[in-house]
Amino acid sequence: DTAVSQTPKYLVTQMGNDKSIKCEQNLGHDTMYWYKQDSKKFLKIMFSYNNKELIINETVPNRFSPKSPDKAHLNLHINSLELGDSAVYFCASSPSGNLRSETQYFGPGTRLLVL
């Protein structure tokens, strides 16, 4: 009965490959997010979607493409992986996206290592 789940938990791949990370939430929330956490634990927003519509698109390379097939899923596809993409990627969700009045719920993270 995990609220926000991500697959895979670990991903080790070679530079130049293309990979996808999946996220699903069973909370009935309208808004989902992708964050990147680097090796120094710094956590930064990458994207957010509200009911399948892109809301936030931070300065992220075009190699990163989020896709939301429905409001319970937000996947992250990464093309031509680079060494600097190695990080932990967290998915999160919140009821409506108004973060002044609601809590975000985070998934367990996907640990990506690019060799």
| Residues engaged in binding other proteins (CB under 8 A) | 4, 40-45, 48, 55-56, 90, 92, 97-101, 103-104, 106-109
Q: What 8-state DSSP symbol labels residue 94? A: E
User: CA geometry: angle at 60 spanning 23 and 43, to 5°?
Assistant: 65
Q: For residues 11, 31, 40 and 20, what is the CA-based torsion angle, rounded to 10 degrees? A: 20
Closer residue to other proteins in complex, CB, 79/98:
98
Name the minimum Å distance from CB 57 to other proteins. 11
| CB closer to other proteins out of 6 and 75 | 6
Q: Least distance in Å: CB of 3 to other proteins? A: 10
Residue 111 Cβ, how far from other proteins at the closest point, in Å? 9
3-state secondary structure at position 83 = helix
The answer to whether 42 and 90 are in contact (CB under 8 A) is no
Instruction: State in angstroms the smallest separation of the CB of 89 from other proteins.
Output: 10
Q: Which two tokens stand for residue 73?
A: 């899923």
Q: Which is nearer to other proteins, 8 or 108 (CB)?
A: 108
For residue 28, the tally of other CB atoms under 10 A from its CB is 9
Q: In this complex, which beta carbon is closest to other proteins, that of residue 15 or of residue 99?
A: 99
